[in-house]
Amino acid sequence: GGSNVTPAIKQVKLEKECELRIEVGNDAPLRLRLLSGTAEIFGTELPPEIWLNFPPKLKFAVFTWFGATIEMDGATETDYTADETPMVSYVNVHAILDGRRDRAKKSPSDDPVLSQGPRVIVVGPTDSGKSTLSRMLLSWAAKQGWKPTFVDLDIGQGSITVPGSIAATPIEMPIDPVEGIPLEMPLVYFYGHTSPSNNVELYKVLVKELAAILERQFTGNTESRAAGMVINTMGWIEGVGYDLLLHAIRTFQANVVLVLGQEKLCSMLRDVLKGEPKVDVVKLQRSGGVVSRNAKFRQKTRSSRTREYFYGLANDLSPHSNISNFSDLFVYRVGGGPQAPRSALPIGAEPAADPTRVVAVNINRDLLHTVLAVSFAKEPDEIISSNVAGFIYVTDIDIQRKKITYLAPSAGELPSKYLIMGSLTWLET
Ligand code: ADP
């Protein structure tokens, strides 16, 4: 009997250029291994025969160029095989980028134009597969020995550090399909909100700062210069979102714009960038495997990214709880508040809020459950132009004793007493 008893282990045979699309179940992880042939997950090859553990809810695809047999152990929300994918067009883009990297490497290193490898920016609406395509291009490049720089401008669903940040990091190895991008020493700027509309001007300023630092690093490093960048963007492509895309393209001097599944955006960008020094705007098909995530799911993802920062993906990190006096920490927020007192303005003029004004924040109960960035700034007026060392999470505010309790990734003193507050909060669960 037991007709509805499913065998624990399921085998799937994949023909060439097909992929197995999986959504891991909600409650339990999934074990998966490559039994024979070759296959990759978003550009990273699977090791033969070794069982890999995928956490609940993860959505991914195992793709094979030449055919493979996969074994799965555990329940999935969905799993199905697709024989229509845009992978050939994606790998063709990779081949062109690789050619450009080779040319850059062979050029005289004192020629700033010729020695610059491709600067690729991936744009498109939310859930078009931008992060996934970025990841594949980076992993394929790393597999060939390049160390391209990954820039993530997505403050909502970024994959380098906690939400509310923009960040960059060199990718030295194909990205681990489970662990994602190693949280080593990324270059991070804290914006503090998960939507750019909170402070558009500040977002632009931080994008400029990040681009300027990378530009300086590239000057001294011909290897990373030749490898170039892959820049992931937000899914906001209308109105101000469109302006921010153009701003990012120009600020990073991107020379390849990959547009995922959006005819209109593609032709708009082609038109507007026509006059500019050689920028290729390339339209690519969106993969049918990309899963749409609703607002609630996105919120959950943000929350688990924050959790991962402090506790690690597999709860393998132990953050430290520290207590400081109010007087030992200086909390700032950026923007808001009138720029000048009314008395200093011409008669009739209204004081305007300065979006990049740094304002001191009194420590009170409002800070409870906020995620604060620890700035590298040495003075408050350096806060906007400074990247951040990391983050703390406020777990208690004791008004009477003037003590603040917070979680930090490691023990010991914070690298700086200047903290940046935005609207980012987290409820530890
Ligand atoms: P975007 O960056 O445009 O918002 P993502 O690249 O993050 O979109 O993709 C959305 C979700 O779809 C992610 O969870 C990703 O892992 C999943 N996904 C992307 N491509 C595939 C695919 N071919 N098969 C299964 N899941 C996929």
* DSSP sequence for 251-312: HTT-SEEEEES-HHHHHHHHHHHTTSSS-EEEEEPPPTTPPP--HHHHHHHHHHHHHHHHH-
Q: Ligand 1 mean position to 90 CA, how many Å?
A: 14
pLDDT of 3 = 47
Q: What percent of the chain has pLDDT over 70?
A: 94
pLDDT of 341 = 58
The rounded distance, in Å, linking the Cα atoms of 24 and 21 is: 10
Task: Find, among 173, 211, 168, 208, the residue nearest to 186 by Cα.
Answer: 168
Q: Which atom of ligand 1 is nearest to the CA of 85?
A: 23
The rounded distance, in Å, linking the Cα atoms of 266 and 281 is: 7
| Beta carbon of 132 within 6 Å of any ligand 1 atom | yes
Give tens-digit pLDDT for 336-383: 654 555 666 667 666 567 888 999 999 999 999 999 999 999 999 999
| Beta carbon of 131 within 6 Å of any ligand 1 atom | yes
Give tens-digit pLDDT for 22-38: 999 999 999 999 999 99
Q: Which atom of ligand 1 is nearest to the CA of 124?
A: 3
**Residues in the chain where the model's pLDDT stays below 50:** 1-3, 338
- The pair of three-digit structure tokens given for residue 144, joined into one six-digit string: 């060939």
56 burial via Cβ count (<10 Å: 0-12, 13-18, 19+): middle
Give tens-digit pLDDT for 156-210: 988 899 999 999 999 999 999 999 987 667 999 999 999 999 999 999 999 999 9
Strands 256-260 and 280-284: parallel
Please say whether the beta carbons of 90 and 134 come within 8 A.
no
pLDDT of 340 = 55
| Beta carbon of 286 within 6 Å of any ligand 1 atom | no
| Beta carbon of 355 within 6 Å of any ligand 1 atom | no
Q: Ligand 1 mean position to 397 CA, how many Å?
A: 39
pLDDT of 266 = 96
Q: What is the ipTM of this complex?
A: 0.99
